[in-house]
């Protein structure tokens, strides 16, 4: 069945981004493949990253771990949200390693799998998941593979980064584990003081640039294209789209594209997004609707119904245009794309 939307994922760019992050960190890098590989396909991302040398993969839930299927024996899957009260059987049946985040999860793991290795999250200031450092006595008797914490403001120059680093150093000195991990993509950019034994990049693997240090180093991974449904003339004084938010100052050629907010191309791009016909830039005009957008195409007189147009989806640029985070741009991409890895 023909699909008038294409999402092309560049496996070599994905691998190159991961290698740069590991080199910058100076320690082994895992990879977050949660949220279906940030919307691009978790299993395909895992396979490409495994080929690049990655051996530790992070998902959010046991459902995500199960969806990955079998993974190579020399690699491991880590469930970041840990074993909830409804995950007991799944945890026992899975080879994935849980991250224990709360006293209840610690007690649950000691009850159901006391001899199996686990990871542990210690909260050093984000106040999201994790045990407080003063609860570390609860960990007695556990076989901890990796002790984690997570930065709240790694993408900003914030005093909390240094505070969390010092708190985590104190935890490292007090809690025994095989490895210690603090840095995500942004944390890797902060420097090797944040690397410890393992880093957990996510966004930057998929083309996101969390800090200036990564500019020029991270390549675009995901490209989206849409077919033209119709080409039309918007006469001077006429409006285009819902709400009549665009009015043509002069006769304007427009291409109507088969994409909209149902596909994750959200309304923040209204009259702000950009598209390309080869090297020619085409501005989004009017509101993004559920299934359609309009782009001005006076500069591309040969464009016609059925031609493909690429949307500007380099994540830093698209985030600036839309006001959305780079994370949202990837994870909201919908199911109507024909996804292809190249």
pLDDT tens digit sequence for 25-84? 999 999 999 999 999 999 999 999 999 999 999 999 999 999 999 999 999 999 999 999
Pinpoint the residues of the chain covered by CATH 3.20.20.10: 11-213
**Pairing mode, strands 280-285 and 293-296:** antiparallel
Query: What pLDDT score was predicted for residue 77?
Result: 98
Read off the pLDDT band of 341 (50, 70, 90). Answer: very high
Asked if the model's pLDDT at residue 1 lies above 90, the reply is no
232 bridge partner residues = 254
Residues 144-168 have a mean pLDDT of 98
Name the active-site residue from 110, 180, 242, 327. 242
What is the pTM (predicted TM-score) of this model? Answer: 0.96
pLDDT above 70 covers a percentage of the chain that reads: 100
Count CB-CB contacts under 10 A for residue 86: 8
CATH 3.40.50.720 fits 11-213, yes or no: no
Asked if the model's pLDDT at residue 172 lies above 90, the reply is yes
CA 320 remoteness from chain centre: 17
Residues 313-330 have a mean pLDDT of 97
Pinpoint the residues of the chain covered by CATH 2.40.37.10: 222-341
* 34 counts as catalytic: yes
The average confidence (pLDDT) of the chain is: 97
Whether residue 98 contacts residue 145, with contact meaning beta carbons closer than 8 Å, is answered with no
- Tens digits of per-residue pLDDT, 91-140? 999 999 999 999 999 999 999 999 999 999 999 999 999 999 999 999 99
Q: How is residue 335 annotated by DSSP?
A: T
* 110 counts as catalytic: no
Longest dimension (CA), the chain: 76
Class of domain 222-341 as given by CATH: mainly beta
Query: What pLDDT score was predicted for residue 282?
Result: 98
- Which has more pLDDT, 80 or 1? 80
Residues 251-278 have a mean pLDDT of 98
Name the active-site residue from 34, 62, 180, 206. 34
Interior/surface letters 291-319, b for 16+ CB within 10 angstroms, e for the rest? bbbbbbbeebeebeeeeebbbbbbbbebb
- Tens digits of per-residue pLDDT, 225-250? 999 999 999 999 999 999 999 999 99
Query: What pLDDT score was predicted for residue 187?
Result: 98
140/120 Cα distance (integer angstroms) = 12
């Amino acid at each position: 069945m023909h699909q008038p939307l294409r999402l092309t994922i560049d496996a070599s760019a994905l691998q190159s981004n991961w290698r740069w992050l590991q080199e910058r960190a100076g320690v082994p890098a895992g990879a977050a493949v949660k949220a279906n590989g940030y919307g691009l396909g978790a299993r395909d991302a895992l396979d490409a990253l495994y080929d690049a040398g990655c051996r530790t993969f992070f998902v959010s839930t046991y459902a995500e771990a199960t969806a990955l299927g079998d993974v190579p024996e020399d690699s491991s899957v880590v469930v970041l949200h840990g074993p909830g009260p409804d995950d007991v059987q799944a945890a026992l049946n899975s080879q994935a390693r849980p991250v224990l985040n709360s006293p209840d999860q610690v007690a649950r793991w000691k009850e159901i799998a006391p001899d199996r290795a686990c990871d542990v999250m210690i909260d050093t200031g984000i106040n999201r998941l994790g045990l407080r450092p003063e609860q570390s006595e609860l960990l007695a008797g556990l076989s901890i593979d990796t002790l984690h914490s997570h930065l709240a403001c790694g993408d900003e120059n914030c005093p909390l980064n240094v505070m969390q680093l010092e708190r985590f150093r104190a935890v490292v000195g007090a809690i025994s584990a095989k490895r210690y991990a603090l840095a995500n993509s942004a944390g890797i950019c902060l420097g090797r003081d944040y690397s410890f034994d393992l880093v957990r990049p996510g966004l930057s693997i998929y083309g996101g640039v969390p800090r200036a240090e990564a500019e020029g180093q991270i390549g675009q991974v995901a490209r989206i294209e849409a077919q033209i449904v119709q080409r039309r003339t918007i006469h001077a004084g006429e409006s285009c789209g819902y709400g009549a938010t665009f009015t043509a100052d002069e006769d304007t050629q427009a291409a109507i594209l088969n994409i909209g907010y149902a596909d994750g191309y959200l309304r923040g791009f209204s009259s702000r997004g950009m598209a390309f016909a080869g090297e020619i830039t085409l501005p989004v005009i009017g509101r993004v609707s559920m299934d359609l957008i309009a782009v001005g195409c006076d500069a591309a007189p040969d464009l016609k119904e059925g031609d493909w147009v690429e949307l500007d989806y380099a994540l830093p640029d698209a985030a600036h245009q839309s006001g959305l985070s780079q994370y949202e741009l990837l994870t909201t991409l919908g199911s109507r794309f024909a996804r292809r890895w190249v």
